Structure 1
Amino acid sequence: MFKIIAKINKLILPSFTKQRLDLTKAKNWQKAIIAWRYYVTTRALD
Structure 2
Amino acid sequence: MKKQLFKILAKLNKTLLPSFTKRQLDIAKASKTQLAIIGWRAFVTKNSLD
- How many residue pairs get aligned? The number is 46
Tell me the distance in 2 between the aligned counterparts of 1:19 and 1:28.
17
Q: CA deviation at 1:37?
A: 0.1
Distance 2:9 2:30 in 1: 24
RMSD over aligned CA atoms reads 0.3
Stretches of 4+ aligned residues off by more than 2 angstroms = none
Q: Could you state the TM-score of these two structures normalised by the residue count of structure 2?
A: 0.91
**Structure 1 regions of 5+ residues with no counterpart?**
none
Matches within 5 A, 1:1-46: 1-46=5-50
Q: Which has the larger radius of gyration?
A: 2
Which runs of 5 or more structure 2 residues have no equivalent in the other structure? none
